Amino acid sequence: VANEFALISRYFKRAPRRARLGVGDDCALLDVPTGQSLAISTDMLVAGQHFFPGTDPYRLGRKSLAVNLSDLAACAALPRHALLSLALPEANEAWLAAFSEGFWSLADAWDVELIGGDTTRGPLTISVTIMGEVDARHALRRDAARDGDVLWLSGCTGEAALGLACLQDSHPGSEMSGALSAVLTDEQRRQCLKRLEDPTPRVLLGQNLRGVANSAIDISDGLLADLGHVLQASGLRADIELSQLPCAPALKQVNDQALQRRCLLSGGDDYELLFTASLSMTGRIQDIADALQLPLTRIGTLHKAVGDQIGLIRLHEADGSLFHPQHHGFDHFAVASDQGGERE
Amino acid sequence: VANEFALISRYFKRAPRRARLGVGDDCALLDVPTGQSLAISTDMLVAGQHFFPGTDPYRLGRKSLAVNLSDLAACAALPRHALLSLALPEANEAWLAAFSEGFWSLADAWDVELIGGDTTRGPLTISVTIMGEVDARHALRRDAARDGDVLWLSGCTGEAALGLACLQDSHPGSEMSGALSAVLTDEQRRQCLKRLEDPTPRVLLGQNLRGVANSAIDISDGLLADLGHVLQASGLRADIELSQLPCAPALKQVNDQALQRRCLLSGGDDYELLFTASLSMTGRIQDIADALQLPLTRIGTLHKAVGDQIGLIRLHEADGSLFHPQHHGFDHFAVASDQGGERE
């Protein structure tokens, strides 16, 4: 039976190439190149809260890094180093082998070095801290959106939420028991589950938006909730054209319009980038979309706001009327489901 | 009822003075001065594993930062920034208020800025990542101990383990039910609990050892286990004089010699520094002890080793015989209690 240190060594210890000192000392030591700032972010994933207890460990290893890479992307930073802390109910080697394989598959793809962490017994919890480099003048911040900015969205939202609905659908007593299985093809269902369990961080997009976008955020809590963070930080309000929102084929197939809208606007776990840029950047953004072969869609505009209007999001239907959603986003501690507060 | 974002803001969001960007964006942004490396470390504390579920939240807030400051100390780094991730079973404001008050009391004492983190619902888990600055040439590493180095210990070990034994003692069916309450004074018991729940990271000592010590480690898993890490990393073996080990009054009072030795050698949670230095540094180290009013004690010596001898620790009794301990240190995943393997 391997002990804690042997387990860590076997699956997570690799000699650092870039850091001065990696896994295995009290601290890791790293250098930040002159002119660059260190961008750092951390996310904690808890079994039963962020993922179902039986989730494929390979995908979980990927996702635990992906959600952090997504934060670096939203900041336009170059991924460099990561710390990984794990609480595990038992020293399950098969689980660790698959989890670490998934983690490394994404770490290697983005040239991220694992330089430290912690391992302990406890309810399955994964805490990753990620570090990257960015020239602070080009870092994309939430508080730098401007009056008149165009609001852009990468890819599309809602598939991850639909994937989650599919998983819940397969549990007895669920809200919409069996309804989804009937309308989605196997391929669509697989695609939605992949979006949920193995999201693609938009790292290259973030780096390409340096000097192009004014602000950015990654969509983890849902489009409306995360847009709300940008608006609050920048003191603005927004108009969104609902007809402009890109809609994945699987989502189009859902007959329930309320569910469809909820997935699109408040689903969360999308890890797309929501960014704002002045109108004059439109051509450059379209060039970036072409170069990365990633759809970038204009979905609205931002406007000056004062007082109560700060954070207001108006959702325009094609006929000119306004849509009033019931859910704004995911809040781990909200008591009522619309706790985030309706903004209009 | 406050939602997640309001809770975070109320207790943990403060405008950064040093970092370019703090809590509230996708990433925090910080700069590392030219000539300095970033030292970074992370520790995860899980309820029921690292602390009893009902532990005083103020002390828990302090300890969650203290154990990380201790890692910076062992590396000789200057504390600068921290990230705090919390999984909480419920949004308990009284708990959060006390926890954050404890956290900030230590953060302010060491001028540490909280620049980010994560909050989620889940079994009570605290993950802190700490960052500091150190000239890499002066960082104290585990792999830099040398043949002939004197082994030094700050303060004394064993009180935290005795504090834990006191807490376990008060639970029915414990190993030594009631035995400890009989021998310790109330003041000794309080002191041992304080060592366990509110340890003092040896931050100033670490910084003073720059250019003086060859290597250092903080004692979290127990003196023998942590010394073992230094010996393995440096390819050495050690001789320890048991009569030289400093012994706190409370520990002296314990009649059970096996328990006493176990606390001293394998207790863990001490957060003292174990460091090695060449004999010629003895005077300077005694000066540091005087300046910091912190006892620094010579407890042994390190020697060249090959093959199986690497990592060997010989414990010498006053009469020249060798002591063979049953426990080496704490291992979260060890199945047998002596899983660490006896080294002699």
Give the confidence band of A4 by pLDDT, cuts at 50, 70, 90. low
Chain centre distance of CA A218: 5
A132 and B27: CB-CB below 8 Å? Answer: yes
Quick count: other Cβ atoms within 10 Å of Cβ B278?
13
Nearest to A40 among B27, B331, B332 (CB): B27
Per-residue pLDDT at A202: 98
Residue ranges of chain B with pLDDT lower than 70?
A: 1-5, 171-179, 181, 327-344
Residue type, A145: A
Residue B104: C-alpha distances to residues B13, B82, B272 (Å): 11, 11, 22
Mean pLDDT of chain A: 89
Give chain B positions within 8 Å (CB) of A124.
none
Nearest to A29 among B2, B37, B216 (CB): B37
Give chain B positions within 8 Å (CB) of A133.
none
A32 and B31: CB-CB below 8 Å? Answer: yes
A334 and B1: CB-CB below 8 Å? Answer: yes
B83 and A40: CB-CB below 8 Å? Answer: yes
Nearest to B39 among A27, A43, A50 (CB): A27
Distance CA B246, CA A198 (A): 53
Distance CA A134, CA A136 (A): 6
Residue B90 and residue B152 in contact, taking contact as beta carbons nearer than 8 Å:
no
Chains A, B: CB contacts within 8 A come to 239
pLDDT 10s digits, A156-193? 999 999 999 888 877 655 555 466 767 889 999 999 99
Least confident of A293-297, A306-310, A311-315, A324-328: A324-328
Name residues whose C-beta falls within 8 Å of residue B126's C-beta, 6 or more positions apart in sequence. B44, B45, B46, B60, B64, B84, B85, B86, B87
Per-residue pLDDT at B19: 86
Nearest to B120 among A46, A70, A122 (CB): A46
Angle at A213 between CA A208 and CA A216, to 5 degrees: 95
Min CA distance, B228 vs chain A (Å)? 12
B87 and A340: CB-CB below 8 Å? Answer: no
Residue type, B9: S
Per-residue pLDDT at A341: 32
Give chain B positions within 8 Å (CB) of A118.
42-44, 127
Per-residue pLDDT at B338: 32
Per-residue pLDDT at A323: 94
Is A317's pLDDT higher than 80?
A: yes
Min CA distance, B16 vs chain A (Å)? 14
pLDDT 10s digits, A281-290? 999 999 999 9
Is A294's pLDDT higher than 50?
A: yes
pLDDT 10s digits, A134-146? 999 999 999 999 9
Quick count: other Cβ atoms within 10 Å of Cβ B138?
16
Per-residue pLDDT at A47: 95
Q: Which of A83, A333, A335, A337 to mutate to test the interface with B (most CBs of B within 10 A)?
A: A333
Give chain B positions within 8 Å (CB) of A232.
none
Q: Which residue does chain B place closest to A144, by CA atoms? A: B25
Q: Which residue does chain A place closest to B141, by CA atoms? A: A25
Per-residue pLDDT at B105: 98
Give the confidence band of A331 by pLDDT, cuts at 50, 70, 90. low
Q: Which residue does chain A place closest to B339, by CA atoms? A: A3
In the numeric block, the tokens 């080294």 are attached to B343
Per-residue pLDDT at A13: 85
Distance CA B245, CA A25 (A): 25
B142 and A25: CB-CB below 8 Å? Answer: yes
Min CA distance, B320 vs chain A (Å)? 33
Give the CA radius of gyration of chain A.
Answer: 21
Q: What is the ipTM of this complex?
A: 0.89
Q: At what angle do helices A223-234 and A257-266 cross, to 10 degrees?
A: 40
pLDDT 10s digits, B249-279? 899 988 888 889 999 999 889 999 999 999 9
Give chain A positions within 8 Å (CB) of B143.
25
Is A253's pLDDT higher than 80?
A: yes
Nearest to B46 among A122, A136, A142 (CB): A122
- Residue of B76, B110, B84 whose CA lies nearest to A129: B84
Q: Which residue does chain B place closest to A339, by CA atoms? A: B3
Give the confidence band of A72 by pLDDT, cuts at 50, 70, 90. very high
B40 and A74: CB-CB below 8 Å? Answer: no
Pair of tokens at residue A41: 């972010």
Give the bridge partners for B274, in sequence order.
Answer: B153, B217
Distance CA B188, CA B301 (A): 31
A27 and B71: CB-CB below 8 Å? Answer: yes
Give chain A positions within 8 Å (CB) of B123.
46, 122-123, 125
Min CA distance, A66 vs chain B (Å)? 14
SS3 annotation, A253-302 = CCCCHHHHHHHHHHCCCCCCEEEEECHHHHHHHHHHHHHHCCCEEEEEEE
Quick count: other Cβ atoms within 10 Å of Cβ B258?
11
Mean pLDDT of chain B: 89
pLDDT 10s digits, B278-315? 999 999 999 999 999 999 999 999 999 999 999 999 99
Is A335's pLDDT higher than 50?
A: no
Min CA distance, A186 vs chain B (Å)? 32
Nearest to A118 among B44, B143, B218 (CB): B44
Is A68's pLDDT higher than 90?
A: yes
Per-residue pLDDT at B7: 74
Q: Which residue does chain A place closest to B219, by CA atoms? A: A26
Distance CA A48, CA A255 (A): 29
Per-residue pLDDT at B1: 35
Per-residue pLDDT at B41: 96
Nearest to A125 among B39, B48, B122 (CB): B122
Q: What percent of chain A has pLDDT over 90?
A: 74
Give chain A positions within 8 Å (CB) of B74.
26-27
A43 and B118: CB-CB below 8 Å? Answer: yes
